Amino acid sequence: MTNSVRQMLQQAMQLSVLDRAALVEGLIASLDKPDNMLDILWLKEAEDRMHAYRAGKLAAVDADEVFAELGRNP
């Protein structure tokens, strides 16, 4: 973390809770720019998977089983 970022963080910590929350939301939003083409591709992928599942071409896996395989609890 650079000195200027450290100074900004110290200044931000002096803000009210609501102002800090608004600042965080603004910073996060600046990192996550919507990509309409990507959203369209993911929607098509989700629809294709749902059609394959309903047609019996794709099996479902229980979430507990997935988490157990990953060694975590949900």
Question: What does each of the 74 residues of the chain score in pLDDT, given as a tens digit?
Answer: 899 999 999 999 999 999 999 999 999 988 878 889 999 999 999 999 999 999 999 999 999 999 998 987 65
Question: Residue 23 is which amino acid?
Answer: L
Question: Residue 48 is which amino acid?
Answer: D
- What six digits make up the tokens of 73? 């609890």
- What six digits make up the tokens of 12? 């931000």
